[in-house]
């Protein structure tokens, strides 16, 4: 739900979702089928891949999207960064603090630091090479937002703090 409803334009296919969630193919397939049976997600075929996305025509689509966004504190994040200057946003599981997740934002300008936004939201600014390293050690590692026309992310507050 997080992957497909946080940013409704997001799509995924079975193997990519399996890798991101670090779960078995069968477990992900079962969940996708449950959502599809309720018409919460829709699919299309692209070559030999079945691509899934949130069904924006579902009567509860906006309620589900708003619930996921509130849980993930999406509005707090969006208020503190300029999305048009962000390339990718990922979510990683966080077990060491009271926060259950942490945002990882891909940077291109050499920023590599940790930031706390709005008092409690944990954000990591990382370069692509650091994100590639994190992909192998942090599971689940879920891409939740992508901007094809991008620049480096810039926080409203100018400097990162640890």
Residue 145: strand, helix, or coil: strand
Summarised one tens digit per residue, pLDDT across range 80-92 is 877 766 788 888 8
Summarised one tens digit per residue, pLDDT across range 3-37 is 888 877 788 899 988 888 778 899 999 999 999 99
Average pLDDT, the chain: 81
Q: Where are the alpha helices (DSSP H) in 38-160?
A: 61-71, 74-80, 128-137
Q: Which of 34, 13, 10, 36 is nearest to 25 (CA)?
A: 13
Strand 121-127 with 113-117, pairing: antiparallel
Summarised one tens digit per residue, pLDDT across range 123-142 is 888 888 888 888 777 667 88
Summarised one tens digit per residue, pLDDT across range 97-113 is 666 788 888 876 667 88
CB-based contact 101:121 (threshold 8 Å) = no
Q: CA-CA distances (angstroms) from residue 18 to 28, 33, 146, 152, 160?
A: 6, 14, 19, 29, 33
Give ranges for CATH 1.10.10.10 in the chain.
2-62
Whether pTM > 0.85 for this model: the answer is: no
CATH topology of domain 2-62: Arc Repressor Mutant, subunit A (1.10.10)
């Amino acid at each position: 739900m997080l992957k497909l409803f946080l940013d409704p334009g997001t799509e995924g296919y079975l193997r990519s979702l399996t890798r991101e969630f670090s779960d078995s193919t069968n477990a992900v397939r079962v969940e996708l089928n449950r959502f599809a049976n309720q018409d919460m997600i829709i699919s299309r075929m692209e070559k030999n891949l079945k691509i899934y996305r949130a069904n924006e025509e579902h009567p509860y689509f906006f309620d589900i999207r708003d619930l996921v966004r509130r849980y993930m504190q999406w509005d707090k994040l969006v208020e503190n960064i300029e999305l048009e200057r962000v390339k990718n946003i990922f979510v990683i599981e966080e077990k060491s603090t009271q926060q259950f997740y942490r945002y990882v934002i891909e940077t291109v300008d050499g920023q590599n630091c940790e930031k706390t936004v709005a008092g409690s939201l944990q954000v990591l600014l990382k370069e692509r090479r650091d994100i590639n390293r994190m992909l192998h050690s942090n599971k689940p590692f879920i891409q939740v937002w992508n901007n094809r026309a991008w620049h480096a992310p810039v926080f409203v507050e100018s400097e990162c703090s640890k």
